[in-house]
C-alpha cells in the first residue's frame, strides 16, 4: 500500500525534474512568467560574497507575529559574520489588522529603541530587510507587496513599496536615520550567509515550515530585467510547482485532502507535499485510513487521532530516530490515546518513513534541476558548487538530508555538491546581501571615476594635438 502510493521511482523523479526544468524557463520568460506556476522572481542580488566585504550593518527580519532587529558585523580578516546584538519585538494582534502606517511606525519605534540601547542612534548604518511576504522586487531597495499572508491584513500596504513605507515612518520620527536598504528574501539570505564562508555557494534552499530555493542565473536568461552581462540571484518560489496540475499523477488522495483543508487551496502544491507544515497531517490522514480499514490499532481510532493537525511533523523525526525510534513511537501513540502493539508501532514507523522519504526525494529532484541548469548554463563538463540550507525538516529529521543528497547524486551525476547549513540567513544573510550591494556600488563608482579620468586624458591629448 505504502509503496504503491508514496514510492517514486528514479524514472518518475526524472520526469518531475524535467517538468520543473520547463517551468523554470517559463518563469524566466518575459511574456510567459505571468502564467508560470514557478514564479522565478528577480532579486536584484547581482553577486555572491567574495570575502572582501566588511563593516557594520543592521538587519530587520519581519515574517510573523514577532520581528527581529540585529546589529551584524562583517569581518574581512577572519571571514566571519558576527551577530553583535539582537532584539525581538512583538506585533500586537490588532496592529496586524490595522493600518500600514501604524505597523511601520511601530517597527520604526522598535528600531530606535534598539539603536538607543546599543549606543548606535548617531550611526547611519545600512540595513538588510527580510520581509517574508509575497513581493515583486523592482530593485534591490524597492519591493512591492503583492498580498498579505500569515494573519496580516494591514490597510494601505498591498501594491506599495515596503522600503518607502519604512523610510517614511523613520522620517516621521526625525530622531535617527538609516543608510542604504537592501530587500532580502529569506532563501537569498540563506545562500548569502553561507556564501561568505564558502565562496562557491550559489544555491540557497529552505525546507522547514515551507520550502523554497534560489540560485544564481545568467542575466541573459532573465528576460524580465534589462541587461545581458553577469548573473542575478533568482528566487524560484518553487513551492508553487504543480499549481497548474502538472503533479497530479503523483498526488495521492491524502495530498488532495491536505490541500482542500488548507487556508489556500490550489496554491503551493509542491510545498504541501514536502514541507513541515503539512507532513504531519499527511501521516495522520494515512494512519486514520489504515485504522478504519482494520489494519492498525485493532480498527479503533481515538479523538486525538481524528483531530486535524494534531499529529505534528516533529513526531515524524522522533519516530524515525535510529536509537530511540520504537520507544518514541510508543510514547506518541500513547499520547494519542491509542491501543497499540509492537506490530502497530512498526507500521507507524513505516508510514512516517514513506512520507518523509517522498518529501526528501522530491526536494532532491528539484535541487538536481537547479544544479543541472547551472552546469548547462555555464557549459561545464562538471559543476562544483555549494548549497546553503536552512529549515527544521532538513536540520532535525534523522534521515532527510541523507536521502535528499542521494537523490541529487542520482539525478545530477555531473554535479559535485557540498551542503552547508546556514547560520541565521534572515539576520546575517540580510547583512551580507547589503554588504555585497555596497561592494558592487563602490566598485561601480571606482570604475566610473577611472573611465572619467581616461576620458579627460583623451580630451587633453586631443587639445594638445
172 near 108, Cβ under 8 Å? yes
Q: Determine the straight-line distance between the first and last CA of the chain, rounded to whole angstroms.
A: 88
CA 399/CA 402 separation, integer angstroms: 5
In 110-225, at which residue ranges do the beta strands (DSSP E only) sit? 127-131, 135-139, 142-145, 181-184, 201-207, 211-218
Q: What is the dihedral of CA 185, 191, 195, 198, to 10 degrees?
A: 170
Per the listing, cell 520504537 goes with: 326
Q: What pLDDT, in 10s, does the model give residues 395-421?
A: 999 999 999 999 999 999 999 999 999
Instruction: Report pLDDT for 52.
Output: 87
Region of 151 please: left (phi>0), alpha (psi -120 to 50) or beta.
left
186 assigned to active site: yes
Task: Go through the domains of the chain in sequence order and give each one's CATH number.
Answer: 2-42+198-421 (3.40.367.20), 55-184 (3.30.420.40)
118 near 85, Cβ under 8 Å? yes
249 assigned to active site: no
Residue of 150, 220, 339, 414 marked active site: 150
3-state secondary structure of 263: coil
pLDDT beyond 60 at 391: yes
Q: How sure is the predictor about 111, in pLDDT bands with cuts at 50, 70 and 90? A: very high
pLDDT beyond 80 at 243: yes
Residue of 186, 243, 255, 344 marked active site: 186
Per the listing, cell 495530498 goes with: 255
Q: What pLDDT, in 10s, does the model give residues 12-55?
A: 999 999 999 999 999 999 999 999 999 999 999 999 998 888 89
310 near 336, Cβ under 8 Å? yes
Number of C-beta neighbours around residue 35 at 10 A: 10
Amino acid at each position: 500500500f505504502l509503496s504503491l502510493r508514496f514510492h517514486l521511482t528514479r524514472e518518475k523523479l526524472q520526469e518531475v525534474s524535467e517538468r520543473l526544468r520547463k517551468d523554470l524557463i517559463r518563469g524566466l520568460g518575459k511574456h510567459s512568467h505571468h502564467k508560470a506556476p514557478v514564479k522565478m522572481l528577480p532579486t536584484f542580488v547581482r553577486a555572491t560574497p567574495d570575502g572582501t566585504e566588511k563593516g557594520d550593518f543592521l538587519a530587520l527580519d519581519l515574517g510573523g507575529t514577532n520581528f527581529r532587529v540585529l546589529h551584524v558585523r562583517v569581518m574581512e580578516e577572519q571571514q566571519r559574520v558576527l551577530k553583535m546584538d539582537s532584539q525581538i519585538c512583538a506585533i500586537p494582534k490588532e496592529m496586524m489588522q490595522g493600518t500600514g502606517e501604524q505597523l511601520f511606525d511601530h517597527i520604526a519605534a522598535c528600531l530606535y529603541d534598539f539603536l538607543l540601547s546599543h549606543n548606535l542612534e548617531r550611526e547611519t548604518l545600512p540595513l538588510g530587510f527580510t520581509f517574508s511576504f509575497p513581493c515583486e522586487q523592482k530593485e534591490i531597495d524597492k519591493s512591492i507587496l503583492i498580498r498579505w499572508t500569515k494573519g496580516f491584513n494591514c490597510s494601505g500596504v498591498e501594491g506599495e513599496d515596503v522600503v518607502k513605507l519604512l523610510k517614511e515612518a523613520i522620517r516621521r520620527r526625525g530622531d535617527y536615520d538609516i543608510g542604504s536598504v537592501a530587500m532580502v528574501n529569506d532563501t537569498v539570505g540563506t545562500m548569502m550567509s553561507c556564501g561568505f564562508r564558502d565562496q562557491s555557494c550559489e544555491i540557497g534552499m529552505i525546507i522547514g515550515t515551507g520550502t523554497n530555493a534560489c540560485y544564481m542565473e545568467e542575466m541573459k536568461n532573465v528576460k524580465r530585467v534589462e541587461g545581458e552581462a553577469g548573473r542575478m540571484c533568482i528566487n524560484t518560489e518553487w513551492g508553487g510547482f504543480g499549481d497548474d496540475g502538472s503533479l497530479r499523477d503523483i498526488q495521492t488522495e491524502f495530498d488532495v485532502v491536505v490541500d482542500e483543508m488548507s487556508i489556500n487551496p490550489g496554491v503551493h502544491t509542491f510545498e504541501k507535499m514536502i514541507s513541515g507544515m503539512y507532513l504531519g497531517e499527511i501521516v495522520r490522514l494515512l494512519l486514520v485510513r489504515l485504522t478504519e480499514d482494520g489494519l492498525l490499532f485493532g480498527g479503533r481510532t481515538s479523538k486525538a487521532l481524528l483531530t486535524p493537525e494534531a499529529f505534528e511533523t516533529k513526531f515524524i523525526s522522533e519516530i524515525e530516530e535510529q536509537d530511540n525510534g520504537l520507544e518514541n513511537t510508543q510514547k506518541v501513540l500513547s499520547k494519542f490515546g491509542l491501543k497499540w502493539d509492537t506490530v502497530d508501532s512498526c507500521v507507524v514507523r513505516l508510514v512516517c518513513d514513506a512520507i518523509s522519504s517522498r518529501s526528501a526525494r522530491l526536494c532532491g529532484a528539484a535541487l538536481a534541476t537547479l544544479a543541472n541548469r547551472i552546469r548547462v548554463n555555464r557549459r561545464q563538463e562538471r559543476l562544483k558548487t555549494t548549497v546553503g540550507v536552512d529549515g527544521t525538516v532538513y536540520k532535525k529529521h534523522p534521515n532527510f538530508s541523507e536521502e535528499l543528497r542521494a537523490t541529487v547524486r542520482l539525478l545530477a551525476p555531473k554535479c559535485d555538491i557540498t551542503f552547508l547549513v546556514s547560520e541565521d540567513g534572515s539576520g546575517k544573510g540580510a547583512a551580507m546581501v547589503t554588504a555585497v550591494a555596497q561592494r558592487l556600488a563602490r566598485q561601480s563608482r571606482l570604475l566610473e571615476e577611472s573611465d572619467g579620468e581616461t576620458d579627460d586624458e583623451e580630451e587633453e591629448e586631443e587639445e594638445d594635438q
